[in-house]
Amino acid sequence: MLSRKGLIPEDYLLTRLAEDVLQPKFKTKSRKARFVAKNGTCNVAHTNIREQGRFLLDVFTTLVDLKWLHTLLIFTMSFLCSWLLFGMIWWLIAFAHGDLDQKGDDFVPCVTDIHSFSSAFLFSIEVQVTIGFGGRMITEECVSAIVILIIQNIVGLVINAIMLGCIFMKTAQANRRAETLIFSKHAVITVRNNKLCFMFRLGDLRKSMIISATVHVQVVRKTVTNEGEIVPLDQIDIQMDNPVGTNSIFLVSPLIISHVIDKNSPLYDLSAADLQHRDIEVVVILEGVVETTGITTQARTSYLSEEILWGHRFVPTVSEEDGMYAVDYSKFGNTVKVATPSCSARALDDAGGLESVRLQECSSGGASVKRRIRHQHTKEL
């Protein structure tokens, strides 16, 4: 996922290195656009927004969402503009009071040592950033100058608070933490505990934990209602069977998250043959609180039908070495083939379950063996 920031090449991602080079390759076919990319970005373009002023009602969020170049440009211009504005005001005060003209020693100016706009601009900078070189200072002569001094200090504090807060929020954005949350490139469908399951693997590369981590999975597909309404992006939640038995997961080592394909699952009618012809997309969302900052983070990915391997399961990545558990991330996305019925979960239930299907296969296999033995005995006679 670091490739979306241009930090490292796509070919050197851990999520790519973890994959088995012998994974089966499927031919690309024309399909609908992807809803969520593998790196978590949403493939949605917002067009024809008429009420653009709504973005100005939430200026802080708008500033945080801007690109770094635009944010730094606004950061610089906000200070320059305020210095120029109050420099002009200090020059006008000096001009109105006659401070710019050479007077006698008995004359008391509003601000000492202001002789031009340049000196007024320098005094504006000294006031707002509290430098105080000592050559220029305000006197008790002008009440207006005292009021402007108070206003400029308040405005400077507000600008500092907004811009520094914006810079801090951009550097501590939640998606930075999501760069070290990885998902397997492929998902698998296989049998686990005598049930057909959809599974994928996720992991965290950092030692600092994600607190209260939860996984949400949705199937995004095109559906048609009973009234004939076409829903191009129908998002259907599917229930995950977390390995710790609760809604939260303990993401210390890579976990395999599974979904039991039962009658309540949107994948209930999906078979191995249908998987390569249907346009479905499974979106995975991992949410949690960053332990070090307390900020909620979210990592996303998705699996298209051609990225779901039927009849595969993930290889183990955790082993015990020298009294510790070691995680081998080179095997993170590796899978192996296992015996899996190619029919859908509905067909399995109609046939009486997985045990019945196995008995039927054994009986059919035994009958074929008997026929071969009988045929060979007839030829010998």
**pLDDT single digits (tens) 325-377:** 888 888 998 999 998 888 888 888 888 766 665 555 544 544 443 444 355 44
Query: Higher-confidence residue: 168 or 32?
Result: 168
Record the tokens describing residue 53, joined without a space: 């002023």
The sign of the CA dihedral 111, 112, 115, 121 is negative
User: In whole angstroms, how far apart are CA 171 and each of 14, 176, 292, 304?
Assistant: 23, 8, 14, 32
**Whole-angstrom Cα distance, residue 72 to residue 316?**
47
* Tokens representing residue 263 in the block: 């009658």
pLDDT of residue 22 exceeding 70: no
Measured from the Cβ of residue 226, the count of other Cβ atoms closer than 10 Å reads 5
pLDDT at residue 175 greater than cutoff 80:
no
Q: How far lies 114's CA from each of 70, 79, 136, 257, in Å?
A: 35, 21, 7, 71
Residue 372 has a pLDDT of 47
Residues 180-204 have a mean pLDDT of 90
Classified as helix, coil or strand, 347 is helix
Q: What is the mean pLDDT of residues 125-133?
A: 83
Pairing of strands 187-192, 308-310: parallel
Give residue-wise pLDDT tens across range 37-87. 888 788 787 777 777 667 667 777 788 888 889 888 988 999 999 999 999
Calculate the CA dihedral of residues 310, 311, 316, 317 and round it to 10 degrees: -20
In the block, residue with structure tokens 């001009």: 95
Q: How far is Cα of residue 65 from the mean position of the Cα atoms in its chain?
A: 14
140: left (phi over 0), alpha (psi -120 to 50) or beta: alpha
- Domain range 177-340, CATH class: mainly beta
What average pLDDT score do residues 193-200 get? 90
* Neighbouring residues of 120: CB distance < 8 A, sequence distance ≥ 6: 87, 88, 90, 91, 94, 111, 114
| Residue ranges of domains in the chain | 66-172, 177-340
**φ, ψ dihedrals at 335, nearest 5°:** -130, 160
Q: Residue 93: CB partners within 8 Å, gap ≥ 6? A: 99, 110, 111, 142, 144, 145, 148
CATH 3.40.50.300 fits 66-172, yes or no: no
What are the distances in angstroms from CA 321 to CA 254, 318, 324, 325, 328?
17, 10, 5, 6, 11
Query: What's the confidence (pLDDT) of residue 43?
Result: 79
Is residue 142 within 8 Å of residue 97, measured between CB atoms? yes
How do residues 271-326 score in pLDDT, each as one tens digit?
888 887 888 889 999 988 888 778 888 889 999 988 999 999 999 998 888 888 88
Q: Write down the pLDDT at residue 111.
A: 86
Cβ partners under 8 Å of residue 360, min gap 6: 351
- Find where tokens 């033995």 sit: 373
Contact call for residues 327 and 254 (beta carbons, < 8 A): yes
Task: Label residue 36 left, alpha or beta by phi (over 0 means left) and psi (-120 to 50 means alpha).
Answer: beta
- The pLDDT > 70 percentage for the chain reads 80
Q: Which residues pair with 253 in a beta bridge?
A: none
Q: Are 36 and 281 in contact (CB under 8 A)?
A: yes
Cα distance between residue 344 and residue 358, in whole Å: 15
> Encoding tokens for residue 152?
């400029």
Assess whether pLDDT exceeds 60 at residue 379.
no
Query: Are the C-beta atoms of 169 and 64 separated by less than 8 Å?
Result: yes
Q: What is the pLDDT of residue 247?
A: 59
In the three-class reduction of DSSP (H, G, I as helix; E, B as strand; rest coil), residue 246 is classed as coil
Longest dimension (CA), the chain: 141
